[in-house]
Amino acid sequence: MIVFFIQLMGLLRIIPLYISSPVLFLTIFIIVYKLNERNRFKGF
């Protein structure tokens, strides 16, 4: 939730977009990675 606020500040040019966009990407990547890893089949 904080990352979306940071991205919004970047879009309003309060902070640079080249700082806020990678942070948003990394956060989404980590969330998807954790959700995918949890449901992985580990074998019998």
Give mean pLDDT, residues 28-37. Answer: 92
Specify whether the CB–CB gap between 10 and 20 falls below 8 A: yes
pLDDT of 32: 93
Q: Which residues in 7-40 are b (16+ Cβ under 10 Å) and which e?
A: beebeeeeeeeeebeeeeeebeeeeeeeeeeeee
Domain assignment of residue 7, yes or no? yes
- For 26, the domain range is 2-38
Domain assignment of residue 10, yes or no? yes
Q: What is the pLDDT of residues 3-23, one digit of tens each?
A: 999 999 999 999 999 999 999
Domain assignment of residue 23, yes or no? yes
Domain assignment of residue 24, yes or no? yes
pLDDT of 22: 95
Record the tokens describing residue 6, joined without a space: 């940071």
pLDDT of 5: 93
- Structurally, the chain folds into a number of domains equal to 1
Q: CA 10, 16, 17: angle at the middle one, nearest 5? A: 60
